[in-house]
Chains A and B, each alone.
Chain A
């Protein structure tokens, strides 16, 4: 891939986050709860997605003072979100020294045609996707990590499952194609053929593949790991539950032991109420976040 050394350093951090949980936090106190529970990183936000959804209006990059306070509170990596295509917000986040930028559909897009040219940055980016073509387009733009979009702030895992299955199914499909079929496949996916060839060779994405959008319980986390996620983002699921300390620890344990169902049964017991969540039918099409970006 382009810019080999720089990309290797970016993917390197994503590798270190594998097998872990990345938690959305809005205050230094929440960041400490997350770190003590065993989070591998925190996403510093002004509002968690469920509240962004409820609040309405234009959602933008967080106030830098919120991000700085969280950076001071913890020693684990701190991520932050910029709007799709808003490279100036990304430049500000890089200047703040955040460890990862999420170019996120959770915020209101700044550009409906182009995403950020992520090769221009030293800080690594994670981007959301709904299928393999979208994942490969983001990697072509320089993303060092891919996550499913799911439907953020919904507390409903159904969209994350759909997106992860689409990515994994797309990868399996490519494995069965002959060399002469790859250019047509690239055309159909809307992705560069070089990356399609790489996926055929590797049998997986060339960058780590994480899951986000709708994880609300330890079993949700195990489900996404079994479907092929290498780490799980939990947004509203922790601090919208009735006992965030217990919930955060339970989800961390469920990711490490995602195939040990006795352990997951144990940590799932007596967790109190998970976030209430929304049926997809209750979210009007134009209020769904996953449709932002292309």
Chain B
């Protein structure tokens, strides 16, 4: 199983560290050639406008969209914005890979960023983990094809469809590998289908 971390901008190094802990050697993806070698890809946190602008300019946008229709992508925070199908008020197009509507910077500016406990349900088991919310977005609506995986208070903070896994917070900034393990499980399930 070969996992890539999109390394155009953002905290891709933290995702790579997380995968290393799980004994997975991650490939840093900056080109379509690198992307083609991956079975699953993580789009990290960062600035969604930067990620979008740079990917569109360097021929990564189209390949990533096609990748997400066939293989598994895990998007955290900015990565979630990029794969969403609707982001009102966002000047850029998105990859339109999961039927969720997302509000950017929905909790406010950096002074409103916070850490609190989120409640997940992964493979039928309840799991609580530390949710690090940095200028975080909110999932404000989910389509029928979307399965909700977790909440912070009343907000949906983690969700998935057939190929795409998303969360609004940053598991890569914690020591909790649960969501990364779930992502790897999703990738391997698709490989064996």
A residues contacting B by CB (< 8 A) are 5, 8-9, 12-13, 15-20, 35-41, 75-77, 94, 97-100, 122-124, 249, 252-253, 255-257, 260
Contact = CB atoms under 8 A, between A and B. Distances in A.
Nearest 4 Cβ contacts at the A-B interface? A99-B110, A38-B53, A15-B11, A19-B9
Contact of B54 (A9, A18, A97, A253): A253
A12 B113 contact: yes
Contact of B173 (A12, A17, A36, A123): A12
Nearest to A123: B111
A19 B12 contact: yes
The interface residues of chain B, by DSSP majority, are classed as loop
Interface in B164-193: 170, 173
Given A12-B132, A16-B45, A77-B47, 19 more contacts: A5-B115, A8-B132, A12-B113, A12-B134, A15-B173, A17-B46, A17-B47, A18-B46, A19-B10, A19-B12, A40-B9, A40-B46, A97-B109, A98-B109, A99-B111, A122-B111, A256-B8, A256-B9, A260-B30
A75 B104 contact: yes
B110 A77 contact: yes
Contact of B50 (A12, A13, A38): A38
Contacts of B111: 94, 97, 99, 122-123
Nearest to A79: B110
Contact of A16 (B30, B46, B90, B104): B46
Contact of B170 (A12, A122, A124, A249): A12
Contacts of B108: 97
Given A18-B9, A19-B12, A35 B49 contact: yes
Nearest to B78: A16
B49 A76 contact: yes
Interface in B146-161: none
Interface string B95-134: 0000000001100111101110000000000000000101
B134 A13 contact: yes
Interface residues of B, number: 35
A36 B54 CA distance: 10
A94 B110 CA distance: 10
Contacts of A41: 47
A98 B47 CA distance: 16
Contacts of A19: 7-10, 12, 46
Contacts of B8: 19, 256
Given A13-B110, A256-B54, A75 B134 contact: no
Given A15-B173, A16-B47, A99-B110, A253 B57 contact: yes
A255 B11 CA distance: 14
Contact of A9 (B49, B57, B90, B134): B134
Nearest to B109: A97
B70 interface: no
6 contacts: A17-B46, A19-B46, A40-B9, A98-B110, A100-B110, A253-B57
Contact of A18 (B11, B49, B114): B11
Contacts of A100: 110
Contacts of B173: 8, 12, 15
Contact of B13 (A18, A35, A76, A253): A18
Interface in B69-106: 77-78, 90, 104-105
Contacts of B57: 38, 249, 253
